[in-house]
Amino acid sequence: MEISVRQGDSIWHYSQLFDIPANLIIDSNQSINPNQLSIGQTIVIPGFVTTTYKIQSGDTFWSIAQKRNLAIDALKLVNPTVNPTMLSIGQTINLPVRVTWRVVNGKEKYDYTKFQEDVRELLKIYPFLLAETIGTSVMGKNITELRVGKGSKRVHVNGSFHANEWITTPAIMSFLNDYLLSITNQGTLNSVNLESLYQTTMLSLVPMVNPDGVNLVLNGLPEQEPYRSEVLAWNNGSRDFSKWKANIRGVDLNNQFPAGWEIEKARKPNTPGPRDFPGTYPLSEPEAQAMANLTRTRDFKRVNAFHTQGQVIYYGFNDQEPPIAEVIANEYANVTGYQPVKTVDSYAGYKDWFIQEWRRPGYTVEFGRGLNPLPLSQFNEIARAARGIILASLYM
């Protein structure tokens, strides 16, 4: 919601007027010096939208404010050209409305288009949320990182490395929506103080690493060649892509990282296909390159890669993980009921590479049970588990 600065206004006044933490207003207006506001400057108030209202008989600014639990000055701010002493029946004014509802549904078919729509809506309502394109997929779709908070503790979460594990994307987006909703309404999630987390942490999210693959699983064959013909051939002529894990070039993105890649190369398929082909060399795919470059740039304290299925938390790699990794894994287990597992005969994954290169905690979390893709009937359970893990990763 946008307002225009008046004589004598301050960020502190807006914070009190709309009951929004001042730091969220400051972070939503990064190009403005909060100590030197100028008359006529546009300020964005996060967590609010405006709606229109037609004046009825007997209405006054005071009565409207009382009915809607608003300060009169809030009405004046969003109606700078309206004289409150000269209202006329049928006149249209603006009303500030605090957002108390979710933008992200989550429990629905969640392809790249839906993901981008939700990102745009969240950015509009919560402008302290930052979005950055960290790369593009094979077919040119933006790979989006979302960041919230400016603290020195940097935590990363990603989803949909594997196309048929797309349910991890709406689980991450649902958490983000709840986080933003709670912090602007000064609430809590799982009894965690979110204002403190916002101040001390920076949460980085890449909810959809593999957008081409997700669209293939959910929407079927792309129109664009050569991808249409290639994936159809690699899928043995079947138009059912529900089992497809790879990107659109038939490369398994979570077998792409230089952490024992040669081991996976020797025992996995040597040609493109629906799953497990590690590519012709490490980081050959633009999606994997984007994730590697992001990780090198951000200096994450820990990373969490969300997958399905099995209800397992993998936290080790070649005994290179620090001792705290097991402590955190046990806390993840406490909040989810999942089984922590240190060692597994698998290499070349994103968390493997992170542990190898930084000797910091990295996790692959397998949500849910059954056969991928998991049904939406498991979404609420997966979303609750994802919430617990992300919060634990931030506060520990």
Q: What is the dihedral of CA 181, 364, 169, 335, to 10 degrees?
A: -40
Report the alpha-carbon distance of residue 63 to residue 55 in Å, rounded. Answer: 11
Quickly count: other Cβ atoms within 10 Å of residue 43's Cβ. 20
Choose the catalytic residue: 145, 285, 321, 366.
366
**Distance from the Cα of residue 12 to its chain's centroid:** 29
Question: How many degrees, rounded to 5, is the angle at CA 307 between CA 389 and CA 247?
Answer: 140
DSSP E strand stretches across 170-255 = 188-189, 192-193, 201-206
379-395 helix and 324-336 helix, angle to the nearest 10 degrees: 150
Query: Are 146 and 207 in contact, with CB atoms under 8 Å apart?
Result: yes
Report the alpha-carbon distance of residue 181 to residue 234 in Å, rounded. Answer: 43
Q: Could you give the 3-state DSSP secondary structure of residue 206? A: strand
Is 366 in the active site?
yes
* Active site amino acids: 366
